A = this chain, B = another copy of it.
Amino acid sequence: MKKITLKDIAAHFGVSVSTVSKAINDSYEISASLKTKIQQYAEENNYSPNRLALSLLNKSTKTIGIVLPNILNYFFTQVFYGIEKVANERGYNLISCISNESYEKEVKTLGVLSSGTVDGLIISLAEETQSKNDVTHLEKFIKSQIPLVLFDRITDLIDCDKVIVDDLEAGYKATNYFIKTGCKNIAIVTPIDHSSVGRLRIDGYKKSLAENNIDYDDRLIVRLEKDDDLSLLLTFLLDYKKIDGILVLDEITAVKLMKILKPKGYKIPEDISIIGFTNGKLSEYVTPSLTTMSQHGSYIGESTARILIDKIESNLSQEEETFTTKVVKTSLIVRESTKNQSTKY
């Protein structure tokens, strides 16, 4: 039983397609008797209008595209969850793509998505895109007049709505907390040094150090590349200086780091305090549980989707258009991997 169309129904009753359309949409133009007959027949053969045809006609797909760098990352999963939530509430579907941190795939994806498939787009940049700093594909996309919202991994080169985490403040707050709990030599381990996000957090770290009259030492920043041996780099770090606090810019790396530190005899948090990022299940259930900066992923997703849909539905001309950047504050979730603020060691 192939999908039934208006034409089929029209043929069955010997009337025109327009009549059927009107009957199904309960138009006053059609006689009551014919209407009920058609409606019933449509119901029985579970007719439903072809969305493609409607989209083509109305120039609205009720679909928003979303490009994520990596779905296995819990932060992005949370954002996705948030986006889906409000998209669903407001009647939009999601077409989701994963760039896998690849510039090329991102470019390809934007190409596909710019050709009528979506009413709007949400994207967080691939790491490769950020390190290349090439956003011509975004510029092209903007030209297609489709509303675009960037979140988290953004770029200053593009003028559009953005939702970001206050990463500078996050780095600042985390570092402050280290200092307040008695840490003197605070290192950073970053697996995301190519991203805007990672650098901002380090800026926040520097700001805190400066305010506390601690000299910044670049050798305390461990920049982790793809196939680097964390254990080895950590050994170098700990041999270099007596570290008592490590800010890790990523949840999984923080956990791995603890797993390396423990057998070496370092006590957490007594010897070394750890603060991680992305407040996921891992941080909560690992031993010792991990103090993290929560970025409120779901909330970011919700905000992003809301901003996008608002823009889609308020069809302003390009002149009236105004772009906002929403900054979402982070929260420090204190757990066992850091010392207590009142305790002095």
Contacts and interface: CB of A to CB of B under 8 A. Distances in A.
Contacts of A112: 51, 93
B285 A256 contact: yes
B71 A114 contact: no
Contacts of A95: 63, 93-96
Contacts of A77: 71-72, 77
A114 B114 CA distance: 24
Contacts of A49: 115
Interface residues of A, number: 48
Given A53-B56, A93-B117, A98-B81, A3 B72 contact: no
A96 B94 contact: yes
A2 B252 CA distance: 44
Interface in A290-334: none
Interface stretch (A17-25, A139-147, A150-158, A187-195): A139-147
A78 interface: yes
A297 to B, nearest CB: 10
B98 A93 contact: no
Interface string A105-117: 1000001101111
Given A78-B72, A282-B282, A51 B3 contact: no
A1 B63 contact: no
Given A281-B252, A285-B282, A84 B72 contact: no
Given A3-B115, A72-B81, A94-B96, 14 more contacts: A2-B145, A46-B143, A48-B111, A50-B115, A51-B112, A52-B56, A71-B81, A71-B84, A84-B96, A93-B117, A252-B281, A259-B285, A281-B282, A286-B287
Interface of A: 1-3, 46, 48-53, 55-56, 61, 63, 71-72, 77-78, 80-81, 84, 88, 93-98, 105, 111-112, 114-117, 140, 143-145, 252, 255-256, 259, 281-282, 285-287
